[in-house]
Amino acid sequence: MRTALKEYKVGTGYDEVLGNSGQPTSAASELVNHLNTLSLSDVKELQKNAEATIAQLGISFTVYSDEGNIDRLWPFDLLPRVIDAEEWKQVSEGLKQRLKALNLFIEDIYNDQKILKAGIVPAEIILSSKDYRPECAGMKLMHHSWACICGTDLVRDDSGSFYVLEDNLRVPSGVSYMLENRAVMKSVMPDAFRDISILPMNQYPYELLSMLRSICPTDTPHPEVVVLTPGIFNSAYYEHAFLAHEMGVELVEGSDLVVGDDDCVYMRNIDGLQKVDVIYRRIDDAFIDPEAFNPDSVLGIPGLIRAWKAGNVGIANAPGCGVADDKVLYAYVPEIIRFYLNEEPILPNVPTYLCSREEDRKYVLEHLEELVVKPANESGGYGLLIGPKASQEEIEQFRQLIEDNPRNYVAQPTLCLSTVPTLCDEGVEPRHVDLRPFILQGSKSYVTAGGLTRVALVRGSLVVNSSQGGGSKDTWIVKKEGA
């Protein structure tokens, strides 16, 4: 029988199933045993079943293109990524540490600015950030929870070590697809969940709702929580609706809410106006309140910032937290952890060159062919230069961009990202992956048992974003017997 992994050959770097040795890792041994009971045709049939389930459930995302907004079914690969539970404990502690420090940083920036006065972070980096909001000055929040929900992107290098690639602190997305991936896997491969001890992740909506209630700024015994969406044409609308449904709360648009003369937020419903205590907003800062930010916005609620500053409503994530979601600031996070927590970082950063520094910029311009260059505030895999795969024309274009606006660019070495077996037309082949776990911080901290594994479906590609042709996998945190 031609089993799924019989002809699997690892590529360069670290493979999440076969490690560096070519033998199954401890975490993946049970998965390998399970896959060895299946033929390649069996696995292909299971993949078809998974895709049919995704279509039946209507799990989709939107790609913006020149042809308009295109709804696509969520791209999913059946072969999971496996991580040992003991290793994950350490990763989880590192993620909690990182978010705690970043939240203390955000509150400091809008109050005493001790870290700027100490010279740890240059003031011009903050004051020139497009996401620095002077309107937030003086605000202090419950549990210091500015970025209450964070999606941190992790990668493994060729030694198998985890690194933080970036923090997503503004409106991080993808958690619904993480949960749906697990539901699809349990539907098509129930035997694996019976035979392998895989940590559950279905408690996330409960943990999210608990966190949102904990940031209510008033003494309301049963806070009213809503999810604020820009509407059905947003690329992540599926997720907004999914999370509202799973938490059992209302999904609203800006026109459904109003700020009263008492500076409280109310939701319009058939019974009149109902007070809202916490808003989980999925709209960028610039559009949430035309009174405070963009006066042309029709997505937000006039007076919302006024109500928030009066202490009458909690907002997750808080306005202004994007000041810490800047790829330039990323380079300073290890020092931020040391400054606020007096601890050494548990998770390392990827070495990062800041083009605003003359010495770094000189190095970057001389080594563009070797580096990954990123704009400071883009997301979704847009605006990148991957030097080893770029044309000379693209390299020269980025050279000019950096020289014109050095503050807006950072560069990092081109990491040899780890690979995971992935079902392809030719059989099972290694494909590069990253991982986005989700961290919550309210009255307590919580990290998902795993996260959204994103996979580059094109051979040799390092771009994993779904908007750029990437796919996804279920992530199994496996507890070994006796551990």
Domains of the chain and any CATH numbers: 218-312 (3.40.50.11290), 353-413 (3.30.1490.270)
DSSP symbols for 248-263: T-EEE-GGGEEE-TTS
Phi, psi of 135 (to 5 degrees): -60, -20
**Please, which contacts does 60-69 make with residues 24 or more away whose CB atoms are closer than 8 Å?**
60/238, 61/177, 61/235, 61/236, 61/238, 61/466, 61/467, 62/233, 62/234, 62/235, 62/236, 62/237, 63/235, 63/466, 63/467, 64/235, 64/467, 69/233, 69/235
> For position 467, what pLDDT does the model report?
63
The C-alpha atoms of residue 113 and residue 124 are separated, in whole angstroms, by 12
The C-alpha atoms of residue 49 and residue 38 are separated, in whole angstroms, by 15
Query: 91: helix, coil or strand?
Result: helix
> For position 66, what pLDDT does the model report?
43
The C-alpha atoms of residue 452 and residue 29 are separated, in whole angstroms, by 21
> For position 483, what pLDDT does the model report?
57
Q: Vertex 82, ends 79 and 84: CA angle to 5°?
A: 170
Helix axis angle for 175-188 and 237-247, nearest 10°, is 70
The C-alpha atoms of residue 176 and residue 239 are separated, in whole angstroms, by 5
Q: Vertex 374, ends 368 and 380: CA angle to 5°?
A: 135
Contact between 346 and 94 under an 8 Å Cβ cutoff? The reply is yes
Contact between 32 and 10 under an 8 Å Cβ cutoff? The reply is no
Phi, psi of 127 (to 5 degrees): -70, -20
Token code pair at residue 310: 């009066």
Contact between 351 and 137 under an 8 Å Cβ cutoff? The reply is no
Amino acid at 162: F
The C-alpha atoms of residue 213 and residue 224 are separated, in whole angstroms, by 8
Strand residues in 243-377 grouped as ranges (E):
250-252, 257-259, 265-269, 272-276, 278-281, 314-316, 353-354, 371-375
Contact between 118 and 332 under an 8 Å Cβ cutoff? The reply is no
Amino acid at 461: S
Residue 3: DSSP 8-state: B
Residue 417: DSSP 8-state: -
> For position 1, what pLDDT does the model report?
59
pLDDT by residue for the chain (483 residues), tens only, comes to: 578 888 898 877 899 999 877 889 999 999 999 999 999 999 999 999 999 999 998 887 766 544 555 667 888 999 999 999 999 999 999 999 999 999 999 999 999 999 999 999 999 999 888 899 999 999 999 999 999 999 999 999 988 999 999 999 999 999 999 999 999 999 999 999 999 999 999 999 999 999 999 999 999 999 999 999 999 988 889 999 999 999 999 999 999 999 999 999 999 988 899 999 999 999 999 999 999 999 999 999 999 999 999 999 999 999 999 999 988 999 999 999 999 999 999 999 999 999 999 999 999 999 999 999 999 866 655 678 989 989 999 999 999 999 999 999 999 998 889 999 999 988 899 999 999 999 999 999 999 999 999 999 888 887 787 666 689 999 999 998 765
Q: What is the CA radius of gyration of the chain?
A: 23
Helix axis angle for 204-214 and 175-188, nearest 10°, is 160
Which of these, 333, 363, 217, 207, lies nearest to 276 by C-alpha position? 217
Alpha helix (H) ranges present in 133-236? 175-188, 190-195, 204-214
Token code pair at residue 425: 């037309």
Q: What are the C-alpha distances in Å from 294 to residues 234, 279, 374? A: 18, 19, 26
How many residues would you count in the chain?
483
Neighbours of 396 (CB within 10 A): 12
Helix axis angle for 358-366 and 392-404, nearest 10°, is 170
> How many whole angstroms from its chain centre is CA 129?
20
Contact between 35 and 5 under an 8 Å Cβ cutoff? The reply is yes
| Antiparallel, parallel or unpaired: β 353-354 and 409-413 | antiparallel
Neighbours of 121 (CB within 10 A): 22
> For position 64, what pLDDT does the model report?
53
Contact between 165 and 155 under an 8 Å Cβ cutoff? The reply is yes
Contact between 172 and 102 under an 8 Å Cβ cutoff? The reply is no
Q: Which residue has the tokens 């106006």?
A: 273
Which of these, 252, 254, 377, lies nearest to 324 by C-alpha position? 377
Query: 88: helix, coil or strand?
Result: helix
